[in-house]
Amino acid sequence: MTVDKVIEIPVSLEVPIGPQHPALHEPVMLKVYAEGEEVVKVEVNTGYNHRGIERLTEKNSFYRNIFIVSRVCGICNIVHSDVYVRAVEQVMDIEPSRRAKYLRVLAMELERIHSHMIINAIMAEILGYDTLFMYIMRDREKVMKAKEILTGNRVLGDYLMVGGVRRDLNEVDRERLKNILVKLEPEVWKYIKVFEEDETLWKRLRGVGVIKPRDVTLHGLVGPTARGSGVNIDARREGYDAYGEVPFNIIVRSDMDSWGRMMVRWHETIESISMCKYILENLPSNGPAVPDETRLPRKFPVGEAFARVEAPRGELTYYVMSDGRQNPYRVKIRTPSFNNIINSGFSYIGHTIADVPVILTSYDPCISCMERAIITDLRRGERMYLRFKDLSTRLK
Amino acid sequence: MGKPSLIKEVLKWFIGRPVTIQYPYEGTSIEDRFRGRHFADLNKCTGCSLCAIECPADAINMEKLPEKASVPKNPRRIYPVVSYSKCVYCYRCVTICPFDAYVTTNDYKLAGPARLYSRDYSLQSIRGGGQ
Amino acid sequence: MSRAKVISYSPWVAHFNTGACNGCDIEVLATLTPLYDPERFGVKLSPSIRHADILIVTGAVTKKAAERLKRLYEQMPRPKYVIAVGACAIDGGVFSKSYSVVAGADRVVPVDVYVPGCPPRPEAILDGILQLVQKLRSGGVSGGSK
Amino acid sequence: MEALSELLKEYALTTYSVKPNRLVIEIPKERVKNALKVIKEKHGDTGIYVSTIVGTDFPDKKQVRLDYYLVTHPDDKVYVLRTWLSREDPRVDSILDLFPGALSGECETHDLLGVVFEGNPFIKREFFAPTDVASKGVFPLRKDSGV
């Protein structure tokens, strides 16, 4: 008997991670196919969070939608309402006062600080470094207090209204905010030092989930994920609101791995703290920041607008179209996580199963932002793998 | 690359007083302007229903006032009842009200085994309503 | 907490996000961290739903997540309790009229404590957990019997 | 801005702008892929990405409008390529092989609006819509979907 054919059977393991999983507090399901320890394919299954928001916005009036779109994502709610409000303002030709613009930037930058801190804390937890997680979360409470002072709620600010913001900042609160930020800055530097020097973090994050700059633009990845790979994308450069007047640096690193993405977030946190300090010291006092909500126009002109904003996770875009009625004709939301998570399936391949949550967390997944989708990863087709099921059908 | 640099911090807190707030034995500091429970003051409410129309969560229902309640200006004799379990505390009703009829508090202690409504708080604001 | 006991019950919590905006989730996370520290009452986050006594549900229950929620509830050991955190988990909040939302955790599983707010403060979530702890310690009705 | 409209001169039907200053170039649907190819050749792999794909339903015109929002960098300019498809049979060539990043946008537009992207093997129903909506063959973002 001569052997004329050898069939190699790959031992393919199917590991579902999520939607309820100790390492993932998000309703997403990663179906990981592994050969031994090596990941060969990842399917991102979501849709557990699809709430039909775009359809819902067509059924509600322009003003009610401000509160609905801030609930697309709780972590970056002010950014969502800012970009929607700016799109509506462009349709309606309303210009907020300079003070209101500064306050909007202040609220958005506070949000960036707390968002970057929480994802770094979660990263520490996923790596098994619970002490660091607890310390970062303790210091994050300072930012939550600052948000409470400014907006009136810890998480969901509901701070913006067409034509301005919904509450002004008085002198006492301004000093309190300044104190909080002054206290926060040394703590953040301490964590940067930990991330730069600690061996545990270094070993788990360096060289994991490498994305080349070319892949970033081809797959449309945005935000810190792109900036960690040396791609200089930042929607704030457009100078919307007061970003044209507040000085800031765009952090770009060329590490290309998970560690680089986390470091981009830490240095952006420092950058945001100094922006907030600048705003608090140079808050203009011309013009009222708070519009009278009972007197806002009730007529909406026909028109369309497309606004972009740099959310903590990357470029967030809204398209708003009005046909002259009370409700918008179409609102299209494209969130950063929608691109970052769905299009990044390629980056898991070749790593071990234990690295999958690390890589996912390094993209700062915000599943509620994604809002939708069951997507199969785009296979690059370098190697062909067969699952047992496919193999049996093929042998018939 | 060096030693785990968090050790100093850990040791500092190991001997220091814990950062934990002893809630519920000790209160936490809540901002006065925190957006908590709110209800309509029936002395000012005219029953115009604007808050119910503008509420993004549809948490406000207009209900008939009880017979005994005496209200100064409310021809239709209806008043808004906020469902605290559905309310998202955006305070759109507070800012849109043309008569400033909403009373705001920073009360957040609403957890309980049943759904809560603002009915009793509103009726207590007028004579003959609360009984 | 009225009577001191030598051995007391330590309920562990599991957290399931059924389509929340993450606002409630980060507040649940904040509740479990040093400033509020529910481990003082024996409450901690359990790694698996099979070890948990309290299920914290956040988010407007989407149709897809509703099946998973029911399955998770069935996997819990008794006594089991459910806390609905946030306006969305109680009544659907702003999403109650959407086509893909069940609007309300109590339409899928029995809920023992409601914590209103959008999102509720960590103190309020702690209040909700403590009500259940108290119920357990005073020998209250076992959850999940409905 | 002029550079791009010059580049697409032979493709463009009309050009105008969406607020604030987003240049819109209307293109017949057969030539969308070619136009994007020309743009990509100009900017290279790292010079441009598809930011979002917006599909809008117009029942009274019996048409579906498709907008491709492109962002160039590092100068951060936004361009819009706009095309119109028939409502009964909305078909357009997929741009997946040019821009893999269009995957999420194409899949979403297919599931919620029913546009078929020819050449994209990943599009299917129930991507986002719940099973009961998808099984009825209803596209939630169509104005007459009734959901």
SS3 annotation, A23-89: CECCCCEEEEEEECCEEEEEEEECCCCCCCHHHHHHHCCHHHHHHHHCCCCCCCHHHHHHHHHHHHH
Q: Does a structural domain hold residue A4?
A: no
The overall average pLDDT reported for chain A is 82
Q: What is the DSSP letter of B112?
A: B
Question: Is the CB of residue B86 less than 8 Å away from at least one CB of chain C?
Answer: yes
- A14 or A98, greater pLDDT: A98
Do residue A264 and residue A391 come from a single domain? no
- B79 or B2, greater pLDDT: B79
> In chain A, how many domains are there?
2
pLDDT tens digits, one per residue of A187-232: 999 899 888 888 888 888 888 888 888 888 888 888 898 898 888 8
To which residue do tokens 């508090």 refer?
Answer: B105
**Banded pLDDT at A280 (limits 50, 70, 90):** very high
Pick the CATH number of B30-131 from 3.30.70.3270, 3.40.50.1100, 3.40.50.10610, 3.40.50.920: 3.30.70.3270
**Banded pLDDT at D79 (limits 50, 70, 90):** confident
Maximum separation of any 2 CA atoms in chain A, in Å: 94
The ipTM estimated for the assembled molecules is 0.90
Q: What is the DSSP letter of B83?
A: B
Q: Count helices and strands (H / E) in chain D.
A: 4, 7
Domain end position, chosen among A285, A303, A333 = A333
D87 and D57 in contact (C-beta within 8 Å)?
yes
Chains that touch A (3 or more CB pairs under 8 A): B, C, D
pLDDT tens digits, one per residue of C82-130: 999 988 889 888 888 888 888 888 888 999 999 998 889 889 999 899 8
**Banded pLDDT at A378 (limits 50, 70, 90):** very low
Buried (b) or exposed (e) across C129-144, using 16+ Cβ within 10 A?
A: bbbbbebbbeeeeebb
pLDDT of residue C103: 81
Domain topology for D2-135: Beta Polymerase; domain 2 (3.30.460)
pLDDT at residue A167 greater than cutoff 60: yes
CA distances to A18, A21, A271 from C49, rounded to whole Å, are: 12, 9, 40
Output the six-digit token pair for A149.
Answer: 């002072």
pLDDT at residue A59 greater than cutoff 70: yes
pLDDT of residue A376: 29
State percent of chain C over pLDDT 90: 8
Chains that touch B (3 or more CB pairs under 8 A): A, C
Do residue A219 and residue A174 come from a single domain? yes
Q: Which residues of A touch C (CB under 8 A)?
A: 19-20, 22, 25-27, 47-53, 55-56, 59, 67-68, 71-75, 77, 118, 133-134, 137-138, 140-141, 144, 154-156, 366-368
pLDDT of residue A275: 93
- A27 or D75, greater pLDDT: D75
Output the six-digit token pair for B93.
Answer: 């009703």
B124 and C124 in contact (C-beta within 8 Å)?
no
pLDDT of residue A357: 80
pLDDT of residue A184: 92
pLDDT at residue A371 greater than cutoff 50: no
For chain B, report the end-to-end CA distance as a whole number of angstroms: 72
Q: Distance between CA atoms of A333 and A339, rounded to whole angstroms?
A: 12
In B, which residues are within 8 Å of C93 by CB distance?
57, 86, 88
C residues 39-68 near A, CB within 8 Å?
47-49, 59-60, 62, 64-65, 68
pLDDT of residue A396: 35
pLDDT tens digits, one per residue of A357-370: 888 888 877 666 55
Q: How many C-beta atoms surround the C-beta of residue D87 within 10 A?
A: 15
Q: How far does A67 lie from chain B, in Å, by closest CA?
A: 7
Q: Distance between CA atoms of A367 and A304, rounded to whole angstroms?
A: 28
Provide the β-strand partners of residue D22: D18
Do residue A279 and residue A203 come from a single domain? yes
Q: How many C-beta atoms surround the C-beta of residue D145 within 10 A?
A: 18
Question: Is the CB of residue B2 less than 8 Å away from at least one CB of chain C?
Answer: no
SS3 assignment, position B30: coil
Do residue A31 and residue A74 come from a single domain? no
User: Exposed, middle or buried, D103 (CB in 10 Å: 0-12/13-18/19+)?
Assistant: buried
Q: Does a structural domain hold residue A5?
A: no
Q: Count helices and strands (H / E) in chain B.
A: 4, 4
Minimal Cβ distance to B35: which of A67, A152, A293: A152
pLDDT at residue A272 greater than cutoff 90: yes
**Max avg pLDDT among A334-338, B84-88, D100-104:** B84-88
pLDDT of residue A256: 87
pLDDT at residue A372 greater than cutoff 60: no
Exposure on the CB side of residue A304, measured as CA atoms within 13 A = 18
**Banded pLDDT at A388 (limits 50, 70, 90):** very low
| Alpha-carbon torsion, ordered B89, B91, B92, B96, to 10 deg | 160
pLDDT of residue D109: 87
| Whether A90 and D22 lie within 8 Å, measured CB to CB | no
Q: At B120, which helix (H) or strand (E)?
A: helix B119-124
Do residue A123 and residue A26 come from a single domain? no
Look up the domain containing A357 and give its range: 12-48+340-395
Q: How many C-beta atoms surround the C-beta of residue D99 within 10 A?
A: 24
- CA-CA-CA-CA torsion sign (B70, B72, B76, B82): negative
pLDDT at residue C140 greater than cutoff 70: no
pLDDT tens digits, one per residue of C22-40: 888 888 888 888 888 888 8
pLDDT of residue A382: 31
Do residue A353 and residue A227 come from a single domain? no
CA distances to A86, A93, C13, D68 from A323, rounded to whole Å, are: 17, 15, 49, 21
Output the six-digit token pair for B113.
Answer: 């085994």
In B, which residues are within 8 Å of A293 by CB distance?
92, 95-96
Q: Name the residue of chain B whose CA is nearest to A167's CA.
A: B33
To which residue do tokens 């991102």 refer?
Answer: A44
Crossing angle for the helix pair A98-126 and A171-197, to the nearest 10 degrees: 30
pLDDT at residue A31 greater than cutoff 80: no
Do residue A89 and residue A152 come from a single domain? yes
In C, which residues are within 8 Å of A81 by CB distance?
none
Q: Does a structural domain hold residue A1?
A: no
- A48 or B121, greater pLDDT: B121
**Type of residue found at A13:** L
C15 and C56 in contact (C-beta within 8 Å)?
yes
| Whether C87 and B88 lie within 8 Å, measured CB to CB | yes
In A, which residues are within 8 Å of C30 by CB distance?
137, 140-141, 144
Q: What is the DSSP string of chain C?
A: --S--SS----EEEEEESS--SHHHHHHHHHTSTTT-GGGGT-EE-SSGGG-SEEEEES--BHHHHHHHHHHHHHSPSS-EEEEESHHHHH-GGGTT-TTB---GGGTS--SEEE-SSSPPHHHHHHHHHHHHHHHHTT-PPTT--
CA distances to A358, B38, B122, C97, D98 from A346, rounded to whole Å, are: 15, 50, 58, 37, 16
pLDDT of residue A112: 92
State percent of chain D over pLDDT 70: 95
CA distances to A46, A262, D130 from D135, rounded to whole Å, are: 18, 42, 9
State percent of chain C over pLDDT 70: 90
Q: How far does A378 lie from chain C, in Å, by closest CA?
A: 24
| Whether A375 and D122 lie within 8 Å, measured CB to CB | yes
pLDDT of residue A277: 93
Do residue A360 and residue A256 come from a single domain? no
pLDDT of residue A362: 83
pLDDT at residue A381 greater than cutoff 70: no
| Whether A68 and B56 lie within 8 Å, measured CB to CB | yes
The overall average pLDDT reported for chain B is 84
Domain topology for C12-137: Rossmann fold (3.40.50)
Do residue A254 and residue A221 come from a single domain? yes
| Whether A118 and C29 lie within 8 Å, measured CB to CB | yes
A40 and A33 in contact (C-beta within 8 Å)?
yes
A42 and A12 in contact (C-beta within 8 Å)?
no
Do residue A21 and residue A132 come from a single domain? no
Torsions phi, psi for B122 (to 5 deg): -65, -45
pLDDT tens digits, one per residue of B102-119: 999 888 888 888 888 988
Do residue A163 and residue A213 come from a single domain? yes
Q: Does a structural domain hold residue A7?
A: no
Question: Is the CB of residue C33 less than 8 Å away from at least one CB of chain A?
Answer: yes
Tell me whether strands D77-86 and D22-26 are parallel, antiparallel or unpaired.
parallel
